[in-house]
Copies of this chain bind each other. A is one copy, B any other.
Amino acid sequence: MTNIAILGFGVVGSGVAEVIATNNETIARKTGEHINIKYILDLREFPDHPLGGRVVHDMKIILADPEVTVVAEMMGGAHPAYDYTRAALEAGKHVVTSNKEVVATFGAELLRIAKEHHVRYLFEASVGGGIPVIRPMSSCLAANELSEVDGILNGTTNYILTQMIHAGKTFEEALAEAQEKGYAERNPAADVEGTDACRKICILAALAFGRLYAPSSVHTEGITAVTAQNVADAEALGGVIKLIGRAGRVNPADPDSDVFLLVSPHVILHENPLSCVDDVFNAILVRGNAVGDVMFYGRGAGNLPTASAVVADIIDILTHKDAEIFVPDWESAVGAPADHTALPYAFLCRIETSAPFADAIASLQAVCAGAEVLTSADAFDGTLAFVTPVMSEAQLRTMAAPLGTLTSVIRVMP
């Protein structure tokens, strides 16, 4: 029997207890032992829960108990989650977590501390909820030099965009509905402004490229500015708008080239499998030099899916006792990732112009050979939708300046 402690008995923490209670026999068949939740650390009491008697309010009790070999941290927030994680690792206990904020901010340091104390720090649940992606990236794709990771990493924003695309709702209507259904919080900023997706792409980039950039150093645009008009323009181009976290090598063929990271709405053309990922589902596409593109898809949030990943990490620890496991070395990156404005993109644009339709098109084509106009003469309302050839954002801004005011610029995923 392995004794574990759960830190934080909220949605995910109680989900972990539920998965263990439901599937403990299956787990024991696979690992040879049962999991026992010896302690639950929370500020609250849970008198009506079957495990209510295991609740403690002092982390020192857990740290001091040699019977506890695994700590599952599901508190959320940076502190005290980071501090407790560190203390647990230093006390020689394995730690598994769903806390993306802690992993994205302190992951490099915590992995180093884990290594020093011959324990493991696992965080499958921090990205993509229950979707297996962290472990497959570090093991199944280990034979590959990875050049890019793209993900639909936030279920709330994907639900809102899906409603805008398939039900013709405005951003405000879709957000209100998401809040009603419990998919979005009352204060939806971390989701709709891209903060959550940013933390997750930082974690994925560290796995792929061995370097952990601070989320604050990553250019992050949310979906608050996406309009029904943008959705229609993307459709005219043969795609859909998705909030994408994107990380890659500036030169995909050179594994020593700089790493770029950004989070922003992108047009995903229908050929790209990410275009089919709707509602609250998440998906992560990984590109390797041997395997090509692989994609992992599933529910990116929710108590049981996320708990499924947390418990999988616990099982991984149980089935690899005393093993010399490879621990990734993450460099703590100093400074910012490569300049995202220099990345080559086609851009889906709307420009406001005072010129008549024919003149506006002539001016556009004079400065931007190869631009494809998406607005017909009939639909012209003083704004023109077009898609540029591949260029940098800096080139786009210079090119468009004499034409009028760019009212929207959306990257088209290459």
Contacts and interface: CB of A to CB of B under 8 A. Distances in A.
Interface string A25-50: 01100111000000000000000000
A302 to B, nearest CB: 8
A288 to B, nearest CB: 6
Interface string A166-179: 00000000000000
B305 A291 contact: yes
Interface stretch (A141-149, A150-158, A185-193): A141-149
A359 interface: no
B304 A292 contact: yes
Interface of A: 15, 19, 22-23, 26-27, 30-32, 124, 130-132, 135-136, 139-145, 255, 273, 275-277, 281, 288-299, 302, 304-305, 307-312, 314-316, 319-326
Given A135-B136, A320-B320, A143 B290 contact: no
A132 B284 CA distance: 13
A141 B281 CA distance: 17
A162 B163 CA distance: 28
Number of copies: 2
Contacts of A298: 291-295
13 contacts: A15-B290, A22-B290, A32-B326, A130-B292, A132-B294, A135-B140, A143-B311, A290-B305, A291-B299, A294-B297, A294-B298, A323-B324, A323-B325
Given A132-B136, A321-B324, 10 more contacts: A15-B290, A124-B140, A132-B294, A135-B135, A141-B308, A143-B311, A273-B297, A291-B299, A320-B323, A320-B324
Given A321-B324, A325-B319, A142 B27 contact: yes
Contacts of A22: 145, 289-290
A299 to B, nearest CB: 5
B299 A143 contact: no
B141 A132 contact: yes
A324 B30 CA distance: 12
Contacts of A304: 290-292
Given A295-B298, A297-B294, A307-B290, A142 B312 contact: yes
Contacts of A294: 130-132, 296-299
Nearest to A277: B273
A36 B284 CA distance: 33
A41 to B, nearest CB: 21
